[in-house]
Each structure stands twice: as structure tokens, then as C-alpha cells.
Amino acid sequence: MERGGGSSAAGPSPSPSPSPSRSPSPSEDRECCAGLWELPVERCERRPECGRCSRPQKVCLCPFLPIHPLKVSTCLYIIQHPAEESRVLRTVPLLAACLPPEKCKILIGRRFSEDRYPELATVCRNPSTLILYPGAEATNLEEVTLGSSSPPIMIIIDGTWSQAKDIFYKNSLFRLPKQVQLKTNISSQYVIRTQPTNTCLSTLECAAVALTIMEKNKSIQETILRPLQALCSFQLQHGAQIHHSKEHLLKNGLYDKPMPKNKRKLRRMELLQNQFFFRKK
């Protein structure tokens, strides 16, 4: 089912980890957001929500949203894992609230077949469509020449690393568009949710960077990130703690959780540490 991602509606959602900025660095998926549920400021029960930003009315972020939706030619398709929709801290509604509804469409689900999603199938076959998913086969978005004939379309998967991976690899439709990644080196500003590395960006951040590149307009990034900055600073003022990335914690000897027993996870952690040491040289 498709939703115009407009101002909110019944609820596109939370968003943090997935759409990554570069290589599919270690995901600790669930672990990433373990601390999220301890946040004192928001509880699971839904309070009356603002119709535009989908935030509880008392902490509405509309003052930080652009007065008019941004004028963009790129159309975003956010493929949202169903688990993201019910998370407490949601950033996709903020993204949707910055854009005209027809430029930000949100599809929720895990499996997208051609039969059930004919429009999406057409989008995936469109040569102007790109899918943001990092990996060896992905081209840096900065290096992609966008055709001028038809407006570009960008597909972004919203979910944790493993959810995004599952969605990308188990839906053959998503292998059709050109695969791109961001080689940006901006650090995630979404400090209230632990990201695996400093350069893992939330879906909103990925969209902001991607749109800035595709629209060749730097102010887009600033405009889209403003509500996220407001959200984080509000949460921090109300007792949330900064969640440094696992990478940051490891490299500063601050990682205080037991090392994982699972060999694959342990290997990932070692990779994270090594990445740091390599970088240091």
C-alpha cells in the first residue's frame, strides 16, 4: 500500500539507522536502539499528535520545518520496514513534512512483488531511478550523471541495517535500479540513537544529503536537518543522553557492554576497531 508521505497522516515513521552513508558497516540492529527505550521523554502510548510533523502536540517541531514544502524535482520513495513505523522516535515524518506529498512517497512492508506493487515496479524499471544502498556494486551518488529528460527518483530503505539488507536482497525489484551510495563524511547528528559508526546516517539525513546532491542545492540539507537538530536538542534537554556511535565508544575505550559471544558479531566489532586503527595511521 502506498501513502503519499505528506504531512504525516496515519504515520510514516521512525527512522534511524538504515540507509547508510557508505559501506554496510556493522549493524548492531536491535542493539543500536537498545537505549532508545529508556528515554524518559517519550513513552510508547501515543499522545495526541500534530497533524503535520506527527510529533506529540506538546513537542511539535513545526516551527523548525520550512514554511512551504521544498521545491524539488527528485521524487523519493521511502521503503519502510513495518517495525520502523511503530518506533517512538520517528524522523521520516519530519522528512515528509519538508517535501511536497507527491515528492515523498512512503511504502511500508517487507516484500514488494510486481503484482501487488505495479507502480513501484514501473518506478524500479525507470532508468531515472536510483536506489540508495551501499556496497561494492554501488556508485557514489556524487559521480552519477543524472539524465535531464525525466525527473530523478531515489529509493531509500528505512529500517535497521539488517532489515534494510533483508529488504534489498529479498526483493528482486530493488536490484533493477542503479545502486548508489553516499561518500559523505558528515557525522550523524542523530545523537540520541546509537549508530554503528559516526558516519551512519539516519534515513532523514541520507535523504537530506542525497537531495542536496541531486538537486545541486546546499540549502536543502540545512533545511531538512533543522527539525532533526531541534528534536535531538529537545531530547537532550529532557534527559536523553548522547548516544555515541559504537565506533566512538570502542576507540575511546568507553564501550562498557560485554563483547558479543556470537562470532559473527564479534568479528564485526573487531572490524570496527580495526577501521579506527587503520584510519589513525
For the CB of residue 120, give the shortest distance to Zn ion in the complex, in Å.
29
For the CB of residue 98, give the shortest distance to Zn ion in the complex, in Å.
12
The residue sitting closest to Zn ion, measured at its beta carbon, is: 50
Site for Zn ion contains 94 (CB under 5 A): no
Q: Which stretch binds Zn ion (CB under 5 A): 43-51, 119-127, 169-177, 203-211?
A: 43-51
Residues 6+ apart with CB under 8 A from 152: 73, 74, 75, 128, 129, 130, 146, 214
Q: How many residues does the chain have?
A: 281
For the CB of residue 203, give the shortest distance to Zn ion in the complex, in Å.
19
Nearer to Zn ion, 67 or 254 (CB): 67
Nearer to Zn ion, 56 or 260 (CB): 56
For the CB of residue 88, give the shortest distance to Zn ion in the complex, in Å.
16
Of residues 48-87, those binding Zn ion (CB under 5 A)? 50, 52-53, 60, 62
Nearer to Zn ion, 60 or 176 (CB): 60
For the CB of residue 197, give the shortest distance to Zn ion in the complex, in Å.
31
Are the CB atoms for 21 and 209 separated by under 8 Å?
yes
Cα–Cα dist 158/160, whole Å:
7
- Give, in order, the Cα–Cα distances in Å from 12 to each of 109, 145, 173, 254: 12, 31, 22, 35
Nearer to Zn ion, 49 or 114 (CB): 49
Angle CA(194)–CA(223)–CA(150) in degrees, nearest 5? 105
Q: To the nearest 10°, the Cα dihedral for 110, 113, 115, 116?
A: 10
Helix 203-215 and helix 218-237: axis angle, to 10°? 160
Q: Which stretch binds Zn ion (CB under 5 A): 28-36, 46-54, 146-154, 155-163?
A: 46-54
Nearer to Zn ion, 52 or 265 (CB): 52
For the CB of residue 67, give the shortest distance to Zn ion in the complex, in Å.
13
Question: How are strands ordered across the β-sheet holding 104-108?
Answer: 2-4, 104-108, 75-80, 153-158, 129-132, 178-181, 139-140
Q: Given the rule CB under 5 A, which residues bind Zn ion?
A: 50, 52-53, 60, 62
